[in-house]
């Protein structure tokens, strides 16, 4: 998976699958400093995904400020050849002042054994994963 650098930030594309539907998101921030993976709720309208009774709602704090999010398990999250099934993702407004579909966080990177090659601007699965 190629990594794009825009305004000093690393971006990748991802595919989210939820209840037999999928959507591709091209502006996913690659963020090793983010504990979790988060998606902008406005960008996934086509999936008809929303908070339901039983979904966890909580406050997250990061460099962009604080906001309330809910978490839900999606069928899968794929970034290039890296994929995790039944993966829990946070959903929030994510209005940080620039175009952003979501954040690929450390949880996804660890689960897939991702290797980030900044010389080649590529991300791929490590040998041991």
Q: List the beta bridge partners of residue 69.
A: 58
Q: Which domain holds residue 116?
A: 4-125
**For the chain, how many structural domains are there in total?**
1
- CATH number for the domain including 45? 2.40.70.10
Per-residue pLDDT of the chain (129 residues), as tens digits, is 999 999 999 999 999 999 989 999 999 999 999 999 999 998 888 888 888 898 889 888 876 678 899 999 999 999 999 999 999 999 998 887 778 999 999 999 999 999 999 999 999 998 765
What CA–CA distance (Å, rounded) separates 122 from 116? 6
Residue found under tokens 């290797």: 115
pTM of the model: 0.90
Q: Which residues contact 71 (CB under 8 A, 6 or more apart)?
A: 36, 55, 56, 58, 88, 89, 90, 91
Residue found under tokens 């930030």: 9
């Amino acid at each position: 998976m190629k990594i794009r650098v825009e305004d000093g930030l690393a971006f990748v594309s991802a595919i989210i699958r939820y209840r037999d539907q999928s959507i591709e998101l091209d502006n996913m921030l690659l963020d090793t400093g983010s504990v979790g993976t988060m998606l902008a709720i406005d960008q996934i309208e086509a999936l008809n995904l929303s908070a339901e009774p039983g979904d966890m709602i909580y406050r997250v704090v990061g460099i962009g400020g604080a906001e309330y999010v809910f978490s839900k398990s999606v069928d899968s999250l794929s970034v290039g050849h890296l994929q995790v099934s039944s993966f829990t993702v946070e959903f929030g407004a994510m209005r940080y002042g620039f175009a952003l579909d979501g954040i690929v966080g450390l949880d996804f990177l660890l689960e897939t054994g991702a290797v980030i090659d900044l010389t080649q601007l590529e991300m791929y699965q490590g040998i041991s994963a």
